[in-house]
Amino acid sequence: MTTYSIDGLTITCEKQGADKYIKISYPFRFGKYSEIKSGNYTFQFNLNGEIKTIQGRGEGWLDASEWLKRNAGNDWTYFAAGGYTGAYDFTGEYYVPCLPYDSNGIFGHNRFTSPEVTHAFEAWHQLNAQLHAMDKTKIPGKVNEFINRVLSMGAEPLKQRAQKLHDIIGGRVSVLPPDTRHVEYDVIPLTIADGCLYNCGFCRVKTGNGFKRREKKDILDQIHQLKRFYDQDILNYNSIFLGQHDALFAGAELIEYAARQSYEILGLKNSVIKGPKLFLFGSVDAMFQADAALFEMLNRLPFETFINIGLESADPETLAQIEKPLSRKKVTRAFNQMMAINKKYNKVEISANFLYGADLPKTHMPSILELTRNQLDHFYSKGTIYFSPLEIIGSIQEVKNKFTEFKTLCRLPVYIYLIQRL
Ligand code: SF4
């Protein structure tokens, strides 16, 4: 680690953060990064020199324990401290990601309109201008190299890089699985199949296209391009998201191929963050298609695998209203299968999504409780239930109260699903 001070800046190259993701109630950094402190701001950069986080302190900043984080899709998220508002009970995390685009969140305010956040972005642009104008002839080699990397990653190149990422995988990831919260949403996306089976009426994230597997050659090509794209910062990734909306339906052979090739070619065993994780979505019919051999294969992978299944409701009236072509019988069977798999495989966890909406039929919530309480003899820690709020009608406090009421009755962990893109 090299620290150098110049013109009011303190520059530290290659700091080492934590080597595994943990849930903690104060700001914490994972992996390797470099840092520049300037006035009241700390700017952190990934190993390619791309801005990664901005954190302020003192006057002019909202809260010393909150920060801004940029992802590979060039979206900024404001991580709001939520401990004192009970956010952990609602989300399973100590920090609530506040997004600059419309989502289904019931937490946090849009911080991106606040003057403090605007000033933080201005400070980053000023820092770039200062680095650009600086006499670098006497700066030590390593620090100089870092500054040059930062200067090569200005606003326009960052925008172009996000476009490049989306071109590689065939478009923006419209929604990440809720379980990616376990790795602070830091996943490398790899598309193994496009579209989905149901094209449900209520869904805002669907492509509208039918399900189609990618060829192995296409997947391999994406992995090689992703390796070049993530470049030096690949060391900071330990997790893969297999896209898009129903990678489970792609079948065991393609999933194993994508998982093993990405693990090897992207060098995940060399990641500075331990505990590789694989995330994917699955549909009810993908669950029925998946046999024991598929889950045994997943259990043997060098990953811990999280599969998120969209059940939405076990109530026929609700399923008809949201235009999801499923029946109570199918949803119940998929739920029971989820519980059995979670019990049997130590490295596979299946979670399920249900909808929350004040205008859904009165029979909706009891149908979920029938599965998640009445059919279970005790509390199970594996098999998280996520609630995805549809349009909020009434007060947010009302939604929270209903959620808390449900949580106390449910015999599985329950959290709110915040729809987040990449
Ligand atoms: S909820 Fe899932 S299956 Fe239904 S349209 Fe959306 S992505 Fe497709």
Measure Cα distances from 403 to 98, 99, 113, 309 in Å: 20, 22, 29, 20
Which residue type, as a one-letter code, is found at position 160?
Q
Cα 202 to ligand 1 centre (Å): 8
- CA dist 313 → 282, 294, 362 (Å): 15, 26, 12
Q: Is 174 in the pocket of ligand 1 (CB under 6 A)?
A: no
pLDDT at site 394: 64
- Which is it for the CA torsion 329, 349, 230, 158, positive or negative? positive
- Any ligand 1 atom below 6 A from CB of 390: no
Q: Which amino acid is at 104?
A: N
User: What is d(CA 204, CA 101) in angstroms, rounded to the nearest whole number?
Assistant: 13
Which residue has the least CA distance to atom 7 on ligand 1? 206
| Beta pairing, strands 2-6 & 9-16 | antiparallel
Type of residue numbered 156: E
Q: Residue 225: CB within 6 Å of ligand 1?
A: no
Return the ligand 1 atom nearest residue 245 CA: 7
**Residues near 394 by beta carbon (within 8 Å), at least 6 away in sequence:** 358
- Of residues 216, 213, 211, 237, the one with CA closest to residue 226: 237
Q: Is the CB of 196 under 6 A from ligand 1?
A: yes
Atom of ligand 1 nearest to the CA of 196: 8
Which ligand 1 atom sits nearest the alpha carbon of residue 203? 6
What pLDDT is stored for residue 270 in this prediction?
96
**Residue 163: partners with Cβ closer than 8 Å, 6 or more residues away:** none
Indicate if ligand 1 lies below 6 Å from the C-beta of 283.
yes
| b/e burial code for range 343-364 (CB count within 10 A of at least 16 → b) | eebeebbbbbbbbbbeebbeeb
State the CB neighbour count (10 A cutoff) for residue 55.
23
Point out which residues pair with 76 in neighbouring strands. 70
* Per-10-residue mean pLDDT, the chain, length 422: 89 94 86 95 97 92 91 94 73 86 70 91 96 91 95 97 98 96 97 96 89 98 98 98 97 98 97 97 98 98 98 97 96 98 98 90 96 96 92 72 90 92 96
CA 195 to ligand 1 center in whole angstroms: 8
What does the DSSP assignment read for 50-115?
A: -EEEEEE-STTSS-TT-EEEE-TTS-EEEEEE-GGGTHHHHHSSSEEEEPSS-----SS--GGGSH
Q: Which atom of ligand 1 is nearest to the CA of 281?
A: 2
Q: Angle of helix 216-230 relative to helix 155-169, nearest 10 degrees?
A: 160
Regarding the beta carbon of 198 and ligand 1, being less than 6 Å apart is answered yes
- How far is it, in rounded angstroms, from Cα 330 to Cα 336? 10
Domains of the chain with CATH codes: 2-154 (no CATH), 170-416 (3.20.20.70)
Measuring CA to CA, how many Å separate 274 from each of 30, 237, 316, 355? 10, 9, 43, 33
Say how far apart CA 391 and CA 359 lie, in whole Å: 9
Task: Please name the residues in contact with 190: beta carbons below 8 A apart, sequence gap of 6 or more.
Answer: 169, 219, 222, 223, 226, 240, 241, 242, 243, 258, 262
